[in-house]
Amino acid sequence: MAHDFDVVKITEMIRPGVGEGIEKFYRHTIKTKGGTVLNVEVPEADFTEVKVAELLKAKAIAADKILKL
């Protein structure tokens, strides 16, 4: 694995927003180098290649550090 994680699945989801309307987000299921599988929710506004890569990498590294405790 070349990265700190692999993306297993991306699911587009919606939920009630604050006040009126709905809010769209993307649930990423990832598997870390250490084998941890977790879900990371990304708001639609942050659903860009650069922002998502940074967020998922940070979550994967944190999860693997916790796994080593």
pLDDT of 8-63, one tens digit each? 999 999 999 888 899 999 999 999 999 999 999 999 999 999 999 999 999 999 99
Q: How many domains does the chain have?
A: 1
Dihedral sign for Cα 44, 51, 63, 33, please. Answer: positive
- The token pair at 47 is 């659903």
Name residues whose C-beta falls within 8 Å of residue 62's C-beta, 6 or more positions apart in sequence. none
Per-residue confidence (pLDDT) for residue 2, from 0 to 100? 54
Return d(Cα 47, Cα 44) in angstroms, integer: 5
Q: What range defines the domain where residue 23 resides? A: 5-67
pTM: 0.87
